[in-house]
Structure 1
Amino acid sequence: MLVRDYLMRNREIWPERIAYISETARLGWGEVADRSSRLAAALQGLGIGKGDVVASMSYDSHEVVELWYACSLIGAIRAGINPRYAPAEVEHLLTDSNARVLLVEGGDCEQTFDRVKAGPADLTVIGFGRHQRTYDYEQVLASAIGDPVLPVLGVDDILALSYTTGTTGLPKGALWRQGGVIESLVKSWMQTGVQPDDVYLHCLPAAGVPVCWLTHNVVNGSRVVIQRKFSAAGALELIEAERVTSVGWVPTMMLDVLSELAATPRDISSLRLVVYGTAPATPALVRQASQALGCQMQQWYGSTEGTLGCYAILSWEDHREALNGKPEILSSSGRPTLHCEVRILDDDLQPVEPGQAGNICVRSATLMAGYHNRPEETAAVLRDGWLMTGDLGILDSDGYLRIVDRKNFMIITGSYNVYPIVVENVLADHRSVHELCVFGIPDERWGEAVCAVVVPAADVTDHDALRAELVTLARDRLAKFEVPKRIDFVDELPRGTTGKLLKRLVRDEYWEKKDIV
C-alpha cells in the first residue's frame, strides 16, 4: 500500500472520524480525502502530471496536509519551502526543483515570495489565507471538475523533494520514494506505540522532515492537531483543550514549555508521550521535563536522507533506567531501530575497531533515492547501499549509539541545521572582511549558536560598526536561524604547516571556555 491507498481506506471506514484540527477547520477523514481529491483534479487541470513538482510555502495548516495527499494521489512531487528562508533561497528551491505550481500563504510568506527575483517561467501561484494572488485555493477546489485520474504508481516513484542545507552553500533536495515514506511512517511510528485513538500535537515546521510527523496518522486513522506556529502557551492550551496524548518537540521547545507551565499551570494529564530530537537535550533538561510533564519520553535520531526513518531511538525504558542510576545513557542517541541497520565504518566502508569512532552509516528501505540534480553528492553519501550520514559516532558494547562529532562542522541551532560555509560565503562578500571562519558555540537555549570569527581588513578601525554591517548583510541574504548570534574579531587565524585554516582550534577554544551566553 502507498500513501494514497491508506487515505482512500480511511475515507471508506472512518469518514466521520476527525483526522485534522487546524486553526480554521476540523476535518474528518472523508472530508480530507475529498478535498485532497478535488485539489488533485485541479492540479491535473493545470497540467500537473506524474513527476511534476508542486511546491508549498506556508506555515502549517490543513492546506499543507491536503497538498501532500493530492500529490500522493496523482504522482506529483511535493517540495516544501521553509517560510523562514531568505528570498534567494526560495528562488533556488523553485528553480532547482523546476516547480510548476506554488501554494503560498498570504502574509509573511507571500511577502517573501514577492521579493524573489526569478524562478520557473511557467510557475502557477495559488494563494490561501489573506493573499493577493490571482488563483485562490478554495476557489480552485470549488472549480475542480470530476475525480483525478490516478496513474500507476510503485514504491520507487518519487513522492517528495525535501530540501536540506548543503555544504555547497545552497539547499539540496532529498528525493523521497513512495515506498520509503510508507516504510518510515509505519515502522518509525510503530515503535512509539501510537494507537488509533491517540491525539498528536504537531508543532514542527512541515516544510521538511516534519511533514511525515504531520501525516503519520494516515496509517492508523488517529488524530493530529496542527499548531500553525509554535508557542509554548499555545501548545499547552491545545494539549489541555484537545486532550492531546502525544507531541513532538525539539529541546528548545521543551525549555519554553517547562517555563510556561511553571508560570501558568495547565491540565496536561492526557499527555502520554513526548518525542524529542533534531538536537541534543541535556540530561538535566530530560530530568526536568520528565518530572514536570509526567509522561513517557523518547529521543529520535535520524536525518532528511532517511525520510524521517529514524536510525536510533532512546526508548522510555532507556530513559527510566537512566533516571534511576545510569545517567550516561542520556548522552547516547539510543539503539538502532527495527528497520535500520546501523554500523560504524571507516571511509572505505570497513568496520572500525570496537569502541572506536567512525562514520555512522545506515542501511534501510527508508533511504532517499538520492539528491535531486546532484549525482556527485549522491554518490558520496550513498555507497553500496549505505548512507554516509556525515556524523561520527561509536556503538558501545550495550548497543547504544553515541554521536561524537559532525563532519563539516554542521551546526544544530534549535531544530535547524546550519552549515558554516553558507554563512562564510555571505559574510566574505563584505569588503572589510579579510578572512573568517564560522562554527557553533554553546548556547543554553538553542544548544548551539552561530558564531563568526573575523579577521578584518587592515583599514578597519570601528569593530562595532563592522559587526552591525555584517549582521545586516546576513539578515538580508540568510535565513533567520543562519544569522550569527556572535561576531568576534581577531588579528589572525591559526593555520597548519600546509597553510590550512585550523578551524577546530578556534572552535575548541570557545567550547573550553563554556562562558557563551
Structure 2
Amino acid sequence: MTKLTEQLANKLIEGQKRLLIKDEHQNMWFTGQQLAKDVATLKQHFTNLRVKRGDQVLICLDNSAVYPILMQALWELGVIAHPVAATTPLAQLQGDFNEYDYAMLIAKDSLAKAIINDVVLEKETIKLNTTFNLTTFFNTKMIIERPFESSGLPTETDLALILNTSGTTGKPKRVGLTHQQLFNAASHNIGSHKLTANDTTMIVMPLSHINALVIACLSTRLSGGKMVITGKFSARHFWQQISVNQVTWVSAVPTIISILLMNEKSKLVYTQLRDTINLRFIRSASFSLPESKLVLFEQEFNTPVIEGYGMTEAAGQITLNPFEAPKVGSVGKSVDTEISILVDDQVQTMNTQLGEIMLRGDHVIADYVDPHPDSFKDGWLLTGDLGYLDEEGYLFIKGRSRDMINHGGEKVAPVEVESILSKLDLVADIAVIGLPDDLYGEAVVAVIISKTPAVSEFTQMKAVIDFAKNNLATFEQPTQVYFVDKFPRNPTGKVSRAQLKAELAQSLIGDRS
C-alpha cells in the first residue's frame, strides 16, 4: 500500500464507530465501518470485472457520499480515477471515452440510461451503503480481449488521479497526479489550515475538481475529520447546514461569498442561527475576491475569509494567507511550494517585479499526461498567471497571461466553446471572451458574426443559448451573446481578443449612457 491508501484505510478503522461522512441529499451519516465495507465491496466488484492496476476509469457523478469511497477503492487497486464534471454532455463523455483507453465508465443515472445500448460498454449495477445503486460500464472490447494478470499493488509514483485543466488550444490538458503528490498536498493542507479530527468541513463545490476533491475532501479524511457533502451550493440552505452539522470550515470561491452577501433570505437565516454557528473560517480561492466584499463578509457573518491560490497542476494549494497575519489583496504565502517570478527571462524570488508565476515542489507535476514541454522551464512549472512577490513573500496575482475565462472558479477554454458553437448554421464566425462579472469573476460571452443578419437578434440569441445547453457543460455555456459585423484582427489574421474585449466593453458603456 502507499502512504495515501494506508492512511485512508487506517482512518476508517480508527473511526469505525464514528459518523464520518454525511450525504446531505440523503440526509444520512455514515460510520467508518459502513464506509470501509463499501470500499471492500467496490474493490471486489472491480476485481470481478478484471479492472487492474494502471487502468483508467472515467467518472461522471454528482456529489455524493460514494465519491470519496469510490476514489479510495480505485486507488487501493492501483487504478487511475479520471473524474469529469457531472454536467458533461453525453456526446462529449462518449467522445472522451472513445479517445482514450478507459477500462470503465462510472456514470450518474441520467447518463447511464442514455448509454445503455452502447455496443462497447456492458452495464453492471452495484448496491452500497452510501448509494442505492452505482452504475458501472466496463469496456468489453478492452477488458475481455486482454489476458488478465495481477499487476500488484500501487507504488508511490503510480498515477492515482487524472483531472482536466483547460488549455489555450481548446483541448483540455490532462493533469496526472501520483499517490505521493496527493498525499503530500493533503498533508500540506492539513498543516496550513490547522485541521484536526475535531473539524467538520462542508463540500459545496464539484468533487470532480481539485479544490473539493483534495483541499476539502482528502485533507479532511487524512486529518480524521468529518465532512458533509452537498449536491451543490445553496444560499438558502447554507447557514442551516452549517449550524445543524456544526461545520467548522468551508472551501469556496468568491462567487459563493458574493451570493451569500446578496441573498437576503440567507442573511435572515444567519441572523436567526448566529449563536449556533461555529465556523473557524471560509477559504476563498480561484480568482480574486474584491477587498470590499472580503471585509463586508467578515463583518456581516463574523467569519474570517482566508484567501489562497492553487491549481490542478499543484494538486490544489500553492499559497494561503496565514491565519495570524493575513494580507488583504494577496493570496498569501507559499505553502511548501517553491515560487518564483519570471521577468524578462530572469528568475526573481523576493520583492519581485510583475511577471509569470513559476512553481515547483513535491506536489507539483513535472509534465502532463500528454507532454507539453512548453509549459515548463528549467524544472519550473509555468502557470500562465501574472503576479509578484512582495518583500515579505506574499504573492499578489494580477491577471492571466493566457486567454482562459474564469467563470465562478471554473476554467473555460474559449477555443473549445467556439468549436462547438461554430456548428450552428447561423454562425459565420465566432469569438468567445470573458468580460468582468461581479458575481462570477468573468462572464462567458459569445461574440458572433451571423450568416443570417436579417433574422432578429433575439431569435438568433435564443438558438445559440438552446444549442449551448444541449452541447456544453453548464459552466461553459455563454451567459451573454452579442452580434458584430467584423472582428479586430492582428497582422496574422487572428482575432485580437484583447481589442475585441475593449471594443465590446466600450459599446456596452455607450448603450447604457
Q: What TM-score bracket applies, with the shorter chain setting the length? A: 0.7 to 0.9
How many percent identity over aligned positions? Answer: 23
Q: Does 1:363 align with 2:360?
A: yes
Q: Does 1:382 align with 2:366?
A: no
C-alpha contact 2:189 2:219 (8 A) present in aligned 1: no
Aligned to 1:474: 468
Structure 2 vs 1, CA of residues 85 and 362 (structure 1 numbering), >3 Å: closer, same or farther?
same
How does 1:309-458 map onto structure 2 within 5 Å?
310-319=317-326, 329-337=327-335, 339-346=336-343, 350-351=347-348, 355-368=352-365, 370-372=367-369, 374-375=370-371, 377=372, 379-457=373-451
Structure 2 vs 1, CA of residues 240 and 353 (structure 1 numbering), >3 Å: closer, same or farther?
closer
Q: Secondary structure at the match of 2:402?
A: helix
Q: Which residue of the other structure, out of 306, 312, 317, is the alignment partner of 1:298? A: 306
In 2, Cα distance between equivalents of 1:173 and 1:52 = 15
1:249-297 Cα offsets, whole Å, 9 max, x none, are 1122223333243232324531111111122211121112111221222
In 2, Cα distance between equivalents of 1:72 and 1:497 = 50
In 1, Cα distance between equivalents of 2:349 and 2:492 = 28
**1:218, distance to aligned residue in structure 2 (A):** 2.5
Q: Does 1:271 align with 2:269?
A: no
Unaligned runs of 5+ in 1: 136-148, 320-328
Q: Secondary structure at the match of 2:193?
A: coil
Task: Give the aligned residue type for 1:331.
Answer: G
Aligned to 1:218: 221
Q: Secondary structure at the match of 2:287?
A: coil
C-alpha contact 1:10 1:30 (8 A) present in aligned 2: no
**1:9, distance to aligned residue in structure 2 (A):** 2.0
C-alpha contact 1:408 1:419 (8 A) present in aligned 2: no
In 1, Cα distance between equivalents of 2:293 and 2:389 = 24
Task: Give the aligned residue type for 1:91.
Answer: Q
In 1, Cα distance between equivalents of 2:133 and 2:368 = 33
C-alpha contact 1:201 1:244 (8 A) present in aligned 2: yes
Q: Does 1:166 align with 2:167?
A: yes
Q: Secondary structure at the match of 2:67?
A: helix
**1:103, distance to aligned residue in structure 2 (A):** 2.6
Q: Secondary structure at the match of 1:264?
A: helix
In 1, Cα distance between equivalents of 2:468 and 2:416 = 10
Aligned to 1:325: none
C-alpha contact 1:426 1:473 (8 A) present in aligned 2: no
TM-score relative to the length of structure 2: 0.87
Structure 2 vs 1, CA of residues 116 and 398 (structure 1 numbering), >3 Å: closer, same or farther?
farther
**1:28, distance to aligned residue in structure 2 (A):** 2.1
RMSD: 2.9
**1:176, distance to aligned residue in structure 2 (A):** 0.9
C-alpha contact 2:195 2:220 (8 A) present in aligned 1: no
Structure 2 vs 1, CA of residues 116 and 252 (structure 1 numbering), >3 Å: closer, same or farther?
farther
Q: Which residue of the other structure, out of 234, 238, 241, is the alignment partner of 1:235? A: 238
Structure 2 vs 1, CA of residues 156 and 346 (structure 1 numbering), >3 Å: closer, same or farther?
farther
Aligned to 1:324: none
Please identify, of 88-97 and 121-130, the stretch whose mean Cα deviation from structure 2 is larger: 121-130
C-alpha contact 1:299 1:315 (8 A) present in aligned 2: no
How does 1:243-254 map onto structure 2 within 5 Å?
243-254=246-257
**1:69, distance to aligned residue in structure 2 (A):** 0.7
C-alpha contact 1:90 1:116 (8 A) present in aligned 2: no
Task: Give the aligned residue type for 1:389.
Answer: T
In 2, Cα distance between equivalents of 1:316 and 1:60 = 29
Structure 2 vs 1, CA of residues 11 and 197 (structure 1 numbering), >3 Å: closer, same or farther?
same
Q: Which residue of the other structure, out of 299, 315, 335, is the alignment partner of 1:307? A: 315
How does 1:16-35 map onto structure 2 within 5 Å?
16-23=17-24, 24=26, 25-35=28-38
Aligned to 2:266: 261
**1:236, distance to aligned residue in structure 2 (A):** 1.8
Please identify, of 65-74 and 19-28, the stretch whose mean Cα deviation from structure 2 is larger: 19-28
Task: Give the aligned residue type for 1:200.
Answer: T
C-alpha contact 2:239 2:269 (8 A) present in aligned 1: no
How does 1:89-104 map onto structure 2 within 5 Å?
89-104=92-107
How does 1:39-188 map onto structure 2 within 5 Å?
39-107=42-110, 109-110=111-112, 114=114, 121-122=120-121, 124=123, 126=125, 151-188=152-189
C-alpha contact 1:100 1:124 (8 A) present in aligned 2: no
C-alpha contact 2:116 2:123 (8 A) present in aligned 1: no
In 1, Cα distance between equivalents of 2:224 and 2:349 = 43
Please identify, of 394-403 and 48-57, the stretch whose mean Cα deviation from structure 2 is larger: 394-403
C-alpha contact 1:345 1:361 (8 A) present in aligned 2: yes
**1:244, distance to aligned residue in structure 2 (A):** 1.0
C-alpha contact 1:442 1:511 (8 A) present in aligned 2: no
Structure 2 vs 1, CA of residues 512 and 37 (structure 1 numbering), >3 Å: closer, same or farther?
farther
C-alpha contact 1:175 1:369 (8 A) present in aligned 2: no
In 2, Cα distance between equivalents of 1:229 and 1:369 = 33
Structure 2 vs 1, CA of residues 410 and 118 (structure 1 numbering), >3 Å: closer, same or farther?
farther
Q: Secondary structure at the match of 1:26?
A: strand
Task: Give the aligned residue type for 1:334.
Answer: G
In 1, Cα distance between equivalents of 2:350 and 2:182 = 34
Structure 2 vs 1, CA of residues 353 and 248 (structure 1 numbering), >3 Å: closer, same or farther?
closer
Q: Secondary structure at the match of 1:331?
A: coil
Structure 2 vs 1, CA of residues 49 and 451 (structure 1 numbering), >3 Å: closer, same or farther?
same
In 2, Cα distance between equivalents of 1:125 and 1:476 = 27
In 1, Cα distance between equivalents of 2:508 and 2:284 = 25
C-alpha contact 1:274 1:295 (8 A) present in aligned 2: yes
